[in-house]
Amino acid sequence: LARAVTATDVAREAGVSQATVSYVINDHPSHRIAPETRTRVLAAVERLGYTPSAAARALRRGTTNTVLLVLPDVPWGPTLATLVDALTDELEPLGLELVTRRLRPGSRQGAPWKELRPLVVVCIMDPLAPDDEAEIREAGIPVVGALLSPVTEVDSTGAAQIVVGRLQVEHLAARNHTVIGYAAPDDVRVGSFLRLRLEGVRLACLELGLDEPRVIQVPLDARRAAKAVTQWRSRPEPVTAVCAYNDEVAMAVLAGLQRLGLSAPGDLAVVGVDNIPLAALMSPPLTTIDQNEQKIAHHLARRVISAIQGDPPPARLRSDALTLVVRESA
């Protein structure tokens, strides 16, 4: 109903040209505005409650202040929510706006990068087909967090999610476990993450001369988790330690153990991933891999900035963004 306030309205109110309003708003460097004029314009802006239209600005400038975050169609766990939250916070003071878009393989939702013309595309958990990525880069839009690397790369060891799996196994091997199980989630939507974490576990087992990990799906249900525990502990060569896909699945394993009158780490060692707040409250308190979302977000933000400025990317994320938290379950 009420027409929005435009720069022209402000100009009329302040008795200047519309262009001058724009110069004041943007603090244009080559355009020195008389302090008195400036004050008058700002007063008018305040009085009318003027905010420039993002659409007009984007159209004129040919670009936005937007960072497009693309994700595959996975459920939002606490880690992802925290990461997005932290990244929003990192970008906000830089005047950058994080817009999140889920990419479903099926739905023809067009190409959000063309529609939105973001400054940078940040890509987490590998939602982009190679074609898409090439297309974005061809359009002159940098892509951060690319390739198979979900979240971000860590050192030369490889993608972060692979490192996660590796850290789990290394800890268990150091405690003399030689037959390792893997507790996979029930949810098919987490496919790409699962694949990578499991890959890390597989690689580590291989390098350390251990058997292939014995993978079982563990639903978030004590009874069915107990069944999985029983399978793992069956002879010959019972599994003595389990890497869980995440802390939730780990808790299911703990609940399964409890149901059988068993406990970690004595009957079966368990190590999770995520270090959710509840990890310390489980019984026994859960040994897990902490992904420091603040550090990861900070690093992603730095990569976004250098991509915008055309600088070379900053050093890779120090691996201390991923740390093993040793509690009692393993």
Residues of this chain that bind its own copies (CB under 8 A): 1-2, 4-5, 49, 51-56, 58-59, 64, 75-78, 80-82, 84-85, 88, 92, 99-100, 102, 107, 109-111, 114-117, 135, 138-140, 220-222, 248, 251-252, 254-255, 258, 277-278, 280-281, 283
The first and second tokens of residue 212, run together, are 């292939």
**Binding pattern for the stretch 60-99 against DNA, x by CB under 7 A and - elsewhere:** xxx-------------------------------------
CA 255/CA 278 separation, integer angstroms:
14
3-state SS class at 108: coil
Per CB under 7 A, does 1 bind DNA?
no
Rounded to the nearest whole angstrom, what is the least distance from the CB of residue 63 to DNA in the complex?
A: 9
16 binds, among DNA, its own copies, none (CB under 5 to 8 A by kind): DNA
Out of 12, 57, 195, 224, the only residue in the binding site for DNA (CB under 7 A) is 57
Cβ 169 vs Cβ 176: under 8 Å: no
The first and second tokens of residue 221, run together, are 């249900």
Rounded to the nearest whole angstrom, what is the least distance from the CB of residue 47 to its own copies in the complex?
A: 14
| Residue closer to DNA (CB basis): 118 or 165 | 118
- The C-alpha angle with vertex 72 and arms to 111 and 191, in degrees rounded to 5, equals 145
| Residue closer to DNA (CB basis): 65 or 306 | 65
| Residue closer to its own copies (CB basis): 77 or 158 | 77
Phi and psi at residue 235, to the nearest 5°: -85, 165
Q: Which residues are within 8 A (CB) of 46 and not within 5 positions of it... i.e. 6 or more apart?
A: none
Rounded to the nearest whole angstrom, what is the least distance from the CB of residue 170 to its own copies in the complex?
A: 27
158 binds, among DNA, its own copies, none (CB under 5 to 8 A by kind): none
Cβ 208 vs Cβ 238: under 8 Å: no
| Residue closer to DNA (CB basis): 5 or 307 | 5
Q: Per CB under 7 A, which region of 5-13, 102-110, 253-261, 287-295 contacts DNA? A: 5-13
133 binds, among its own copies, DNA, none (CB under 5 to 8 A by kind): none
Rounded to the nearest whole angstrom, what is the least distance from the CB of residue 39 to DNA in the complex?
A: 10
Per CB under 7 A, does 3 bind DNA?
yes
**Binding pattern for the stretch 17-36 against DNA, x by CB under 7 A and - elsewhere:** xxxx-xx-xx-x-xxxxx-x
Whole-Å CA distances, 112 to 292, 305, 327: 29, 21, 44
Per CB under 7 A, does 8 bind DNA?
yes
CA 215/CA 195 separation, integer angstroms:
12
Residues from 36 through 55 that contact DNA (CB under 7 A): 36-38, 50, 52-53
| Residue closer to DNA (CB basis): 68 or 204 | 68
Rounded to the nearest whole angstrom, what is the least distance from the CB of residue 210 to its own copies in the complex?
A: 28
| Residue closer to DNA (CB basis): 41 or 297 | 41
Whole-Å CA distances, 23 to 30, 31, 56: 10, 7, 15
CA 290/CA 172 separation, integer angstroms:
16
17 binds, among its own copies, DNA, none (CB under 5 to 8 A by kind): DNA
CA 279/CA 25 separation, integer angstroms:
49
Per CB under 7 A, does 100 bind DNA?
no
CA 16/CA 317 separation, integer angstroms:
50
Where do runs of H (alpha helix) occur along the chain? 7-14, 18-26, 35-48, 54-61, 78-91, 112-116, 130-138, 160-174, 191-207, 222-232, 247-259, 293-309
Rounded to the nearest whole angstrom, what is the least distance from the CB of residue 237 to its own copies in the complex?
A: 28
CA 149/CA 81 separation, integer angstroms:
18
